[in-house]
Amino acid sequence: MTGSSLASTGLLCLVVFASTVCVGAFGPLLPEIARAQGLPDWQLGVLAGSFGFARMAADLPAGALASRRLAASLALAPLTLIAGMLLLSTAGPFPVLVLGRLLTGLAHTLVMVGSLTAVLQEKPGPGASVRLNTLEFSGMLGVLGGLAAVGLLPERWPWDRTLLAAATPVVVALPAALVLARTLPRGLATPPPAARVAAAPRAASLPPIVRLMFALGVVMALAWSAVSQFVIPLRGTREFGLDRAGISGLLSLAQLVDLIVLLPVGWLADRIGRPPVLTAVAVTLGLGLFAVGLGSLPLVVAGSALFGLGMAGWMLPLGVIREHTDVARLGWRTGAYRVGVDGAIFLGPLICGVLGPAQTPLFIALVGVAAFAIAVRLGRG
């Protein structure tokens, strides 16, 4: 990578970090939001899931925008995120809270699709998985920062004040995105018409491995959203009597393990190939889901660590997809992949909220079974 490319990657990581702190800060506050706002479980599911719904709805438009105006999509994200956080901080009625979550989801889509497109437009080769996982590392560091902030801020503060204070790093994302906008191309390079016609038959069909990566992305997203945005906060509070700091500690454990192994997992994927690493990731994720969804508190702690280890492969499916995608279709296919992922992020907490505490463990177990099934399919090549 050139010096200019390294500088752009550094700024991308800063924007992603500053934009994901609020994602980590929300989960531990969910039980307090329920109590303070008097929300039943189904409304909690809608509130938590609206973040993913906005991402799902915006993915394809964000992919098209990133393909044509990459710098603009990244510059727009912090403004949208600030608006969403201000709405949430009002502690207003349920529709206002949902609107705030929708705006934060839209902003996160602009950040992630734009930054992924910027990284993936480089030709695949040595270090490709490490570049993807470096971007993911910055996002997970932001999530961990949000969790830590909620755990450290005074317990007497109301949830809305705590959330706003924890999310203040977003103000750094705006100037960083504006500086970054000057270094990025206006859009992705488009091949000549003859090349597009020649590539059309190959682009029209998805190889089986790409379809499997879409499925794995959906399973990982269901696991992440259901566990971090619903199961751990509510199980921890209702069944184990944990306070805000205790919930933050459980979620931070998963993020910390993710951070520790994220770059080594990317390095390993570049050395031995992504499919073997993804097989191990899917097995670990399935084990973590069973422990978190069905186990006692010690098993939930162990499951949180396994869950973090499994989520370290979050970006690797995109690397496999990149290997089978020409650059002209990259923004669109990245957006399409994110539709599936973000649809699952929307559905995870919503399904848990609708099912209720009695049936949610069964749902988590089914997601774990799906992870094991994908691991078996990957293992067979």
**pLDDT for residue 5:** 57
To 5 degrees, how large is the angle CA 291–CA 296–CA 301?
A: 60
% the chain with pLDDT above 70? 87
Q: Do residues 318 and 266 make contact, with C-beta atoms less than 8 angstroms apart? A: no
Residues in CB range of 272: below 8 A, 6 or more apart: none
Sign of the Cα pseudo-torsion (299, 266, 277, 15, in order):
positive
Condensed to tens digits (0 to 9), the pLDDT of residues 27-58 reads 889 889 998 999 998 998 899 889 889 988 88
Residue 317 CA to residue 204 CA, distance in Å, equals 19
Which H/E stretch holds residue 310? helix 297-311
Mean pLDDT along residues 191-213: 57
**pLDDT for residue 189:** 44
The answer on pLDDT for 188 being more than 50 is no
pLDDT category, 273, cuts 50, 70, 90?
confident
Q: Which amino acid is at 131?
A: R
pTM value? 0.73
* Burial class (CB within 10 angstroms; exposed 0-12, middle 13-18, buried 19+) of 44: buried
**pLDDT for residue 287:** 95
What burial letters (b/e) apply to 76-92, b meaning 16+ CB within 10 Å? Answer: bbbbbbbebbebbbebe
The answer on pLDDT for 179 being more than 90 is no
**pLDDT for residue 151:** 84
Residue 151 CA to residue 128 CA, distance in Å, equals 35
CA 169 vs. chain centroid, Å, equals 18
**pLDDT for residue 304:** 92
Condensed to tens digits (0 to 9), the pLDDT of residues 147-175 reads 888 888 898 899 999 999 988 888 888 88
Mean pLDDT along residues 5-23: 81
Q: What is the DSSP string of 175-226?
A: HHHHHHHTTS-SS-----HHHHHHHHHHHHS--HHHHHHHHHHHHHHHHHHH
Q: In the block, which residue shows the tokens 């710098």?
A: 71
Maximum distance among all Cα pairs of the chain, rounded to whole angstroms:
65
**pLDDT for residue 196:** 41
Condensed to tens digits (0 to 9), the pLDDT of residues 297-312 reads 999 999 999 988 988 8
Topology classification of domain 3-379: Growth Hormone; Chain: A; (1.20.1250)
The answer on pLDDT for 204 being more than 60 is no
Which of the pair, 318 or 307, is modelled with greater confidence?
Answer: 307
Residue 290 CA to residue 307 CA, distance in Å, equals 10
**pLDDT for residue 107:** 92
| SS3 per-residue string spanning 65-95 | HHHHCHHHHHHHHHHHHHHHHHHHHCCCCHH
pLDDT category, 339, cuts 50, 70, 90?
confident
% the chain with pLDDT above 90? 31
The answer on pLDDT for 63 being more than 90 is no
pLDDT category, 290, cuts 50, 70, 90?
very high
**pLDDT for residue 330:** 66
**pLDDT for residue 176:** 85
Q: Do residues 282 and 378 make contact, with C-beta atoms less than 8 angstroms apart? A: yes
Residue 210: how many other CB atoms lie within 10 Å? 18
User: Per-domain residue ranges for the chain?
Assistant: 3-379
Average pLDDT value for the chain: 83
pLDDT category, 192, cuts 50, 70, 90?
very low
Condensed to tens digits (0 to 9), the pLDDT of residues 348-359 reads 999 998 998 889
pLDDT category, 184, cuts 50, 70, 90?
low
Residues, the chain? 381
The answer on pLDDT for 131 being more than 90 is no
Condensed to tens digits (0 to 9), the pLDDT of residues 231-247 reads 999 899 989 998 888 99
Residue 263 CA to residue 118 CA, distance in Å, equals 19
Residue 125 CA to residue 378 CA, distance in Å, equals 22
Residue 96 CA to residue 211 CA, distance in Å, equals 37
Condensed to tens digits (0 to 9), the pLDDT of residues 253-271 reads 988 898 888 888 888 888 8
pLDDT category, 193, cuts 50, 70, 90?
very low
Residue 197 CA to residue 200 CA, distance in Å, equals 5
